[in-house]
Amino acid sequence: MIQKTTHAPRSTSNATTPSSSSIARLRAVAERADLADVAEKVLAKERLTLDDGARLYRADLHAVGALANHVRERLHGDLAYFNVNQHVNYTNVCNKLCRFCAFQRLPGQAGAYVMTPEDAALKITAQLDEPVTEVHMVAGIHPKLEYGYYLDLLRAVKKARPSIHIKAFTMVELDQIAKKAKKPLAEVLPELVEAGLGSVPGGGAEVFSERVRKLTYHLKISGDEWLAIARTVHRAGLKSNCTMLHGHIETIEERVDHLDRLRRLQDETHGFQTYIPLSFHPDHSEMAHVPGPTAVDELREIAVGRLMLDNIPHIKAYWILMDVPIAQLALSYGADDVDGTVVEEKIYHEAGATTPQKVQRAELVQWIRDAGRVPVERDTVYNVVWSGDESLARAGEHAPVAG
Ligand code: SF4
C-alpha cells in the first residue's frame, strides 16, 4: 500500500522549486528507465514501497540518481553540509570478531591499544588551534573496560575542550556500556550525558538481516537489538545517525529491508539526523576475497537511500570511505553532506582506505564548490556555523531537521 509521507524533513530556505521543463525531463528520464510510476510518487512526495526500492537497485543508475537529486534539491537546494571534526578511536581491542573488520585486535595481540582518558584528552588539546566543533569517538568492544572508564573518557575530553560536541559510542558500544554499568540503558544515558555525551553516531548497524549476521558478525547485537537501543537513545532526547554497511554478501532485498526498518523507527522517534551508507573495505579482513562495492554501487546506495528514507533529513557521502571524487559526484545523486575534516581515522584505514587521514577546512569548502554546491559548515546537530550562502550566513541559524 502506498502511504503519503507524514514525517518528511522540512525544506531549507534554499530548497529549489524545479521548473516545469526540468520536471518534464525528469519524467522522460524515468520513463526510459521503466520508473515512470516511481517518478510520479517522488513528485507527489509519496512513500516508496519495498518493491519500488528493489527496482531502484536494478534500474539505470543515472535515472535513479536524477530522481534522488530532485528530492535532495527539494529539501536542501544547492547546500552541502560539512563540519570541522576530529576522530578518536579510543581502543582497537574487541571481542566481537566481525569477519569484515580489519580494525579489531584481541587483548594482548600485537598492535592492540587502549587510550587512557588522558591520552584521549591529549588528542583533543593537540587540535585546539583548529576550529573543531565535534569529536567522533567510537571503538572496539573491549571486554575489560569498566563503566567508570567511559564516564572518565567523556569528562576528560570535555575538560580538554569544553565547547566540543561529543558524538560517541555506537549502539554496540552502548549495549556494552550498559552491561558494564549493570543498569538499563535508559538509566545509563543520562549519566553519560551528564559526563559530556552530546549525540550518538550511526555505526554498528551493518545489515540487519539475520542471515548476514550469522555469516559475518554473529557475536554482535542483532538488528532488532540495534534498533531497540536506537529507540532508547532517541527517547532519551539524543539524536543519532544511522548506517548500512554495503557491498559484501548482502542481497538487494536485505538492503531494502534494512532501509525500511530504519524508516519505520524514524516514523516513531524522529531521532535520526543523517543516513550514511558505509562502503565495505575488504583489505586485511577475513573477507578480503569479497571485491567490495564499486563507485557505481556507492552512488546507487546514496541515491536509493535518499529516495527510500523520506523521513530522514540528511544523506551523507562519507568522503573518507568513498574518496573525494565520488563524494563530490554523490552531491548530485542524493547526498547533501560530506562529513568533516576527520583527523586520524583508524578504522577504515586499517581496512585499506587510501584517502587522506585529514583535510583542511578550506579544502572541504573547495571540494564542495568544485562539485557545484554551496558549502555550509554545520555543527553536529546541523546548526549553521558558517555558510557560503549569504542568506544563511548568520551564525547559529538552524539547518533543517526532521519535521
Ligand atoms: S566491527 Fe566493531 S564490533 Fe566488529 S570486530 Fe570490528 S571493532 Fe569489533
SS in 3 state form for 346-373?
A: CHHHHCCCCCCCECCHHHHHHHHHHCCC
Our answer on whether the CB atom of 287 is closer than 6 Å to any ligand 1 atom is no
pLDDT of residue 391: 65
Tens digits of residue pLDDT in 245-287: 999 999 999 999 999 999 999 999 999 999 999 999 888 788 8
Percent of the chain with pLDDT over 70: 89
pLDDT for the residue numbered 345:
63
Task: Tell me if 100 CB under 6 Å of ligand 1.
Answer: no
Residue nearest to atom 7 of ligand 1 (CA): 140
Cell numbers standing for residue 144: 575489560
pLDDT of residue 1 exceeding 50, the answer is no
Q: What is the pLDDT of residue 393?
A: 55
Does residue 388 have a pLDDT over 90? no
98 lines ligand 1 (CB under 6 A): yes
With cut-offs at 50, 70 and 90, classify the pLDDT of residue 396. very low
pLDDT for res 348: 61
pLDDT at 12: 59
Q: Ligand 1: distance of its center to the CA of 46 in Å?
A: 37
Among 298, 326, 318, 346, residue whose Cα is nearest residue 241: 318
Average pLDDT over every residue of 386-399 = 63
pLDDT digits (tens, 9 = 90+) for 323-368: 899 999 999 999 999 998 887 666 666 666 666 656 888 899 999 9
Residue nearest to ligand 1 atom 4, measured at CA: 98
Residue 182: its pLDDT value, please? 98
Say if ligand 1 is within 6 A of residue 96 CB.
Answer: yes
What are the tens digits of pLDDT across the range 8-53?
Answer: 565 555 677 788 999 999 999 999 999 999 999 999 999 999 999 9
pLDDT of residue 4: 38
Taking CA atoms only, the protein residue closest to ligand 1 atom 2 is: 140
> Which range has highest mean pLDDT (225-239, 333-347, 376-390)?
225-239
The beta strands (E) that lie in 64-192 are given as: 79-83, 85-88, 134-137, 165-168
CA of 140 to the centre of ligand 1 (A): 5
Q: Which atom of ligand 1 is the closest one to the Cα of 92?
A: 7
pLDDT of residue 145: 98
Contact indicator for 101, 95 with CB cutoff of 8 Å: no
Distance 202 CA to ligand 1 centre (A): 14
From the CB of 90, is ligand 1 less than 6 Å away? no
pLDDT in tens, 75-87: 999 999 999 999 9
375: CA distance to ligand 1 center in Å?
Answer: 33
Q: pLDDT averaged over the chain? A: 91
At 399, the pLDDT band (50, 70, 90 cuts) reads: very low
Mutate to test the pocket of ligand 1, among 103, 222, 321 (most ligand atoms within 8 A of CB): 103
**What's the CA-to-centroid distance between 321 and ligand 1, angstroms?**
17
Pocket test for ligand 1, best of 91, 92, 97, 98 (most atoms within 8 A of CB): 98
Ligand 1 in contact with 299 (CB < 6 A)? no
Q: Tell me what pLDDT residue 403 has.
A: 25
84-109 average pLDDT score: 94
Residue 38 beta carbon below 6 angstroms from any ligand 1 atom: no
Alpha carbons within 13 A on the beta-carbon side of 110? 0
Q: What is the pLDDT of residue 344?
A: 66
Q: Kindly give the distance from the C-alpha atom of residue 42 to the centroid of ligand 1, in angstroms, as a whole number.
A: 37
> Would you say the CB of residue 104 lies under 6 angstroms from ligand 1?
yes
140 CB under 6 A from ligand 1? yes
101 lines ligand 1 (CB under 6 A): yes
Rounded average pLDDT over 169-194: 98
Asked if residue 401 has pLDDT above 60, the reply is no
Is the pLDDT at 90 greater than 60? The verdict is: yes
Dist. CA 69 → ligand 1 center (Å): 33
Question: Cell triple for residue 17?
Answer: 522549486
What nine digits make up the cell of 291? Answer: 571485491
Q: Is pLDDT of 235 > 60?
A: yes
Closest ligand 1 atom number to CA of residue 95: 8
| CA dist., res. 160 & res. 126, Å (int) | 10
DSSP codes, 225-252: HHHHHHHHHHHTT--EEEEEEESSS--H
pLDDT-wise least confident of 96-100, 162-166, 301-305, 389-393: 389-393
Neighbours of 231 (CB within 10 A): 15
